[in-house]
Amino acid sequence: MSNYRRRFVPGGTYFFTVELLDKQSSLLVDQIDLLRTATGLCVKRWPFTIDAAVILPAKMHMIWTLPPGDDEYSKRWRLIKSTFSRHVRAPVIQSPTRLRPGEKGVWQRRFWEHVIRDQADYDLHMHLIITAPVTARLVRKPLDWPYSSLKRRRVDLDPPPPKTIAPVQLLQDP
């Protein structure tokens, strides 16, 4: 059995990648409202801030900031994943023997987390979130992907359109 080491920083900012067991699935975007509800319930129960998020068909990336003195991100992910799994149809699994008792086979058992160290690290992971739909070849421009916090932040990554009208000269009052 693998020995997973997690770094716990109370009140820290973390980058997460969470994936479905079936990489070909589109369950996360098909059930986006359920995922939002599950996440909202978790935020109500154990508050934290979602700084950025992108939901792809079979994986999601998020940046969270936990409250001061709190480092329990694992229980938050457990609540989100279990709430979501409880309300979706069980996927067709190739080998039911791979499932542990009580598992439905929706999520990968683990998730990947990274403690954000400084502003440059934050900017790097924010860029990863912003460009993930383009990298996955789902859209051509980041703003075209509807399941991203980029829409909510109203950040415009596209260059401004060229100006085609000359500025109007104002006349002074006589």
Query: DSSP assignment of 106-165, as one string?
Result: -B-S--EEEE--SHHHHHHHHHHHHHHHHHTTS-SSGGG-SSBHHHHHT---SPPPPP-S
At 16-49, the pLDDT tens digits run 999 998 888 899 999 999 999 999 999 999 999 9
118-165 pLDDT tens trace: 999 999 999 999 999 999 999 999 999 999 987 665 545 554 455 545
Average the pLDDT over 55-69 and give the result. 95
**Distance between CA 20 and CA 57 in Å, rounded?**
9
- For residue 7, the SS3 value is coil
pLDDT band at 55 (very low <50, low <70, confident <90, very high): very high
Q: Is the pLDDT of residue 98 over 80?
A: no
Asked whether the predicted pLDDT for residue 1 surpasses 80, the reply is: no
Token reading at 142? 């980041």
User: Quick one: pLDDT at residue 125?
Assistant: 95
> Residue 61's beta-bridge partner residues?
17, 54
pLDDT exceeds cutoff 80 at 171: no
Kindly list the catalytic residues: 147
Mean pLDDT of 60-75: 94
Calculate the average pLDDT of the chain: 83
Token duo for residue 13: 């900012």
Using one digit for the tens of pLDDT, what is the confidence trace for 126-135?
Answer: 999 999 999 9
> What's residue 46's pLDDT?
95
Q: Are 55 and 147 in contact (CB under 8 A)?
A: yes
* 96 pLDDT more than 90: no
CA distances from residue 169 to 148, 163, 165, 166, 174 in whole angstroms, order as listed: 42, 16, 12, 9, 15
Of all residues in the chain, what percent carry a pLDDT higher than 70? 74
φ and ψ at residue 93, rounded to 5 degrees = -100, 135
**How far is Cα 121 from Cα 131, in angstroms, rounded to an integer?**
15
- The dihedrals phi and psi of 6, each to the nearest 5 degrees, come to -115, 145
What pLDDT, on a 0 to 100 scale, did the predictor assign at position 111? 87
